Chains A and B, each alone.
Chain A
Amino acid sequence: MSPVDGAGAGNPNLPVDPAVDEGRVPERASEGIPEIHEVGCPEELRERIELLMSRYPDRHSASIPALWAVQERYGWCTPEGIRQAAAVMRVTPAYLESVASFYDLLHTEAVGSHRIEVCTNISCWMRGGDELLDAFKAAAEGDADLFVTGFECLGACDIAPMASIDQRYFGPLEAAEAGIAIEQLKAGADVLPAKSLATRPLAGDTPGPTGRNVASESTYRPIDRGEG
C-alpha cells in the first residue's frame, strides 16, 4: 500500500518517488486495530479499560481514562501499553497516540516514577516559582526516578510558589524545601505535611497579615439589609 493510495495513486501524471515508500509500508496488512491476543494485555488492565468504557454512552470517551490506566501501570504511555489499550478499545494505536501526545500529563516518553511539576506561571513567578524549579532540579540531579518539570498554571496561586508532587499540591514552598521534599519522597515518608494543600484552612479563616483581623482596618461595610 502506498501512502498516496486514495490520493490520486492511479493518476499516471502524478510523480511518485519510490523512496517515499521506503520504510513506511506497514509490515502487516494494515496498521489497523490490533487483536487482543496479539498484544499480551494484562487481564487487570483489560478489565479496567472495559469498566471505563462501560461508563460512557460512547466507548471512545474512555480514551483519556484508558491512557491514565496505561500510564499508571507502566509509568508512562509506552507503545506496547497504547497497543494494548487500543486492542481493548477497538481503536487504532495511532488514534490513542494522537490523544496521548496532546495532553501534558500523559507522557509518551519514559519519565521517572516520581513526578514533580513546579508552576512557573504569573502568580508563582512573582513569588519565586523559577527559583523553586531550579532548586527542585538541582536536588533531583542525576536521579532517574525523579522527573522534574516546569508547568503552566496548576490552579493553586493561593499557595504560590507551589509544586505538584505525585499529583498532590504543596505550597507555599521555600527553595530550601525542595531538597527536603525529595529526601522524604525517596524515603517513602509523608512529603512536607505542613505544606499540603489538603489540610490548608480557607484563606479567610487564617489570621490576617498583621496578626489582626484585616477587616477591622476597613471602612467598607456591606449594605445593611437586616437579618434573615
Chain B
Amino acid sequence: MAHGLETRVLLEHAEDPGLRTLDGYKGYGGYATLEKAYREMEQDEVLKELEDSGLRGRGGAGFSMGKKASFLPRGEMAKYLCCNADESEPGAFKDRELMQRNPHQLIEGIAIAALAADAGHAFIFIRGEYDLQADILDAAVAEAYEAGYLGENILGTHRDLELVVHRGAGAYICGEETALLDALEGKRGNPRLKPPFPAVQGLYGGPTLINNVETLSNVPRIVANGAEWFKGFGTEQSPGTKVVSISGGVRRPGNYEVELGVPTRELIYGLAGGPEPGHEVKAFYPGGSSSPVLTAEEGMDLPYSFEAMAEAGSMLGSGSIIVADDRVSIPHMALRTARFYHHESCGKCTPCREGTNWTVKMLERVVRGEATPMDLDIISSVQENIMGHCLCVLGDSMAMPVSAMVRKFRPEFEQVIAGAAETLDPHLVVQGPPETLGASI
C-alpha cells in the first residue's frame, strides 16, 4: 500500500500485475475515456480541456501540453504524433515504470491526444535498452488493435489511428525531439535547426506533436475528470501529480508519485529514506543529470515544483532527483556527468562536440591533481561558451550542472587539485578513463 506522502494517480493500481493486460485495465475503468472522446467529443473540446488543465510537459522542458497541441496547423495534410519514450537521462527512470506497469494508460492517452492533434499516425519511440517494456507495449498495442481502439474506423466513428512501437538502438540524443524525428525517419539521430518547430514541420515534413510518456499518460484522466479536477492537485503553476525518480545516496531509491509542491526534504527523507545512517545529503540534482546541482542548504526546504526549482537557479526537468551524500566527491561526480555528455554528443555542433571533450579532459586533470586553480576558471568559461550556442540543449545539459558544481564547490575542487585526493574514498578515485562504448578517443 502506498503511504501518506504519495498521491497515486498515474500509478494507481500499479501494484496489480494484471493492469498491463487489456482486461485488467478495463476492469479499472480503462478505455471509457477513449470511447467518450471518440464518440462524443470534437477536436476543440479535447484541446480546450488539455489547455485548461495547465498540464506541463513531463519530459524536461515543462511546456504546456495543450498549447503545444494547439500549435499544429489545421488542414488536410498528414499529421503525426510521437510519444517520446527515449528516457535516457541519468537519474530518470519514471517512464520505464509507467510503460511496464500500465501500458494501456499510455495507449489510451496517445489515442486521445491524436484526436486533439488530428493525427492519423502515432509512434512510440522507445529506447532500445527498454526491451522488456517494448515487449509489454507491443503486446498491449496488439490487444488494443484487436479490441478496436486502434486501427481503421475506431469504434465505428470513421476515425483512424495507426500506432507503431519503434525501438531505438541506444543514443541519448534521440530523446531530443528533432533528433528523435531523424531517428524515426531512419537516419542518424542528429538534431535539426529550429524553427521550424516540429508542430509545423516535423516527421516526414508534416505537423507533429511530440510528448513524453508521462505527459500522455495524464491525458485520459484529464479528459475523463476535467481540467478543474486536475488543477486540484499540485500548485497553481505546476498542477497535477508527478512521478519522481529518486536515486543515488538514499536508502530506498525508486519512483514515487507525489503532488507537485511537496517539500523536497520529504521526498528525499520521507519517501526515499534519506542517506545511510550517519551520513548527510551534500548536494542533489533536482531534475536529472542536466539540472544544476543544488546544495543541501539551498534546496532541501524548497517545494518540489517547476517554479520553485527555476527560482533557485535549477530546474525540475524530468523530475529525477539524484542525491549525493557526504561521501561523494563533487569533482568526480562532475567528471562522471561530463563523460556522459561527451559520449552522447552527436558531434554536429562544434561547441558541444569540442566543449564536452575538453571539459572531460580538464576534469580528468583535476581529479588526477594535475590542474591549477586557473583551470577551474577555464572550465567555467568553456561552459559559458557552450550554453545557447548549439542546435539542441545537449551541450547546455552538461554545461549547467558542471558550472554549478565548480561554482558551488570550488574549495573542494581546489582541495582535490592541491593533492588531497588521498583523503577521498579510494574507490571513488578514477584510475583511468572507463571503458565505455565509443568513448575512446
Contact yes or no, A155 B87, CB < 8 A:
yes
Question: Shortest CB–CB separation between residue B246 and chain A, in angstroms?
Answer: 8
Q: Which one of A130, A168, A217, A221 lies within 8 Å of B427 (CB-CB)?
A: A130
Q: Do A122 and B289 touch across chains, with their CB atoms under 8 A apart?
A: yes
Given A64-B166, A153-B90, is A99 in contact with B187 using a C-beta cutoff of 8 Å? yes
Partner of A98, one of B127, B164, B188, B247: B188
- Does B248 belong to the interface (CB within 8 Å)? yes
Find out whether the CB atom of A203 lies under 8 angstroms from the CB atom of B437. no
Q: Which of A130, A167, A214 contacts B3 (CB 8 A)?
A: A214
A64-B169 contact, Cβ under 8 Å, with A122-B322, A202-B97, A209-B251: yes
The answer, yes or no, to whether A164 is at the interface (CB within 8 Å) is yes
Complex alpha-carbon distance, A98 and B101, angstroms: 35
Do B255 and A149 have beta carbons less than 8 Å apart? no
Contacts of A218 in B (CB 8 A): 4-5, 266, 269-270
Interface: A205 (CB within 8 A):
yes
A216 to B1, CA, bound (A): 13
- B82-103: which have CB < 8 Å to A? 87-93, 95-97, 100-101
The size of the chain A interface, using a CB distance under 8 A, is: 68
Given contact pairs A103-B169, A106-B170, A150-B435, A167 touches B5 in the complex (Cβ within 8 A): no
Asked if A76 is an interface residue, CB under 8 A from chain B, the answer is no
Contact assessment for B93 and A158 in the assembled complex, using a CB-CB cutoff below 8 Å: yes
A215 touches B270 (CB 8 A): yes
Could you say which interface size class chain B belongs to? 35 or more
Whether B270 contacts A65 by the Cβ 8 Å rule is no
Q: Contact: B336 with A121, CB < 8 Å?
A: yes
Given contacts A68-B167, A218-B5, contact A99 B93 (CB under 8 A): no
Shortest CB distance A6–B (Å) = 22
Contact bitstring A60-72, B, C-beta under 8 A = 1, else 0: 1111110110000
Cα separation A63 to B346 with both chains bound (whole Å):
18
B108, chain A: closest CB distance, angstroms: 21
* A28 interface contact, C-beta 8 A: no
Say if the beta carbon of A131 comes within 8 Å of chain B. yes
Contacts of B343 in A (CB 8 A): 152
Nearest chain A CB to B343 CB, angstrom units: 6
Q: Which residues of A contact B255 (CB under 8 A)?
A: 158, 202-204
Closest residue of chain B to A164 (Cβ to Cβ) is B129
Q: Which of A19-27, A50-58, A138-146 has 4 or more CB atoms under 8 Å from chain B?
A: A50-58
Query: Once bound together, how far apart are the Cα atoms of A122 and B328, in whole Å?
Result: 10
State how many angstroms separate the Cβ of A92 from the closest Cβ of chain B: 13
Assess whether B2 is in contact with A205, with CB atoms less than 8 Å apart: yes
In the assembled complex, which residues on chain B have CB atoms less than 8 Å from the CB atom of A209? 251-252, 273
Q: Which residue of A lies closest to B184 (CB)?
A: A61
Bound CA span A133–B430, Å: 14
Q: Is A79 an interface residue (CB 8 A)?
A: no
Whether A220 touches B270, Cβ cut-off 8 Å, given contacts A57-B121, A152-B343, is yes
Map CB proximity to A onto B1-35 as digits: 1 under 8 Å, 0 otherwise. Answer: 11111111001001100000000000000000000
Contact B185 A58 (CB under 8 A): yes
Partner of B185, one of A60, A197, A214: A60
Contact status A214-B171, CB under 8 Å: no
Q: What per-residue 1/0 map shows which CB atoms of A202-228 lie under 8 Å from chain B?
A: 111110111001111110111001000
Q: Which one of B49-57, B191-199, B215-223, B256-264 is at the interface?
A: B256-264
Residues of B within 8 Å of A57, CB to CB, are 78, 121, 204
> B436 to A151, Cβ gap below 8 A?
yes
Partner of A151, one of B248, B346, B437: B437
Q: In the complex, what residue of chain B is closest to A104 when comparing beta carbons? A: B170
In whole angstroms, how far apart are the Cα atoms of A120 and B247 in the complex? 14
If A153-B89, A157-B91 touch, whether A131 touches B427 (CB-CB below 8 Å) is yes
Q: A155-B130, A158-B246 are in contact. List 12 more A-B contacts (CB 8 A).
A: A106-B169, A122-B285, A122-B340, A123-B248, A126-B248, A155-B88, A156-B96, A157-B90, A157-B245, A160-B247, A205-B2, A214-B252
23 CB < 8 A contacts A-B = A60-B186, A64-B168, A64-B183, A102-B189, A104-B171, A106-B170, A120-B436, A122-B91, A122-B333, A128-B427, A131-B427, A152-B343, A153-B172, A153-B340, A155-B88, A156-B93, A157-B91, A158-B245, A158-B247, A202-B97, A203-B256, A208-B273, A222-B5
> Which residues from chain B sit less than 8 Å from chain A, CB to CB?
1-8, 11, 14-15, 78, 87-93, 95-97, 100-101, 121, 127-132, 164, 166-172, 183-189, 204, 232, 245-249, 251-257, 259, 262-263, 266, 269-273, 285, 289, 320, 322, 324, 328, 333, 336-337, 340, 343-344, 346, 427, 434-438
Q: Which 9 A-B pairs have the closest CB atoms?
A: A203-B254, A157-B247, A104-B170, A103-B169, A209-B251, A63-B186, A105-B170, A215-B3, A60-B186
